[in-house]
Amino acid sequence: MKTAISLPDDLYAEGEAYAECNNLTRSRLYAAALREFLLRHSDDSITAAIDALFASHPDLNRQDLDLAEASRHALLRNGW
């Protein structure tokens, strides 16, 4: 898919220099950057869902919280 985006001049220049030094096309660089950003933030939705669960069920105890945290880590390790 083609798209147009606006970037600050300095960020664009850094990206261009990095792509040239690493023999990457601009498209490949920006696709990789977006992919990495999304992977780094993918656990945000899981954490938010767990937080909402505990907020709506104040009777849940520490053991439940530990189980939820272990489940979150397992999901992240498996690419969720």
Tokens of 43: 């656990």
Helix-helix angle 26-56:62-77, to 10 degrees: 160
The more confidently predicted of residues 70 and 27 is 27
The Cα–Cα gap between 79 and 40 comes to: 11
**In 1-80, alpha helices (H):** 9-21, 26-56, 62-77
Q: Per-residue pLDDT tens for 1-17?
A: 888 999 999 999 999 99
Q: Per-residue pLDDT tens for 31-64?
A: 999 988 887 777 767 777 777 877 787 777 667 7
Give the domain ranges of the chain: 9-77
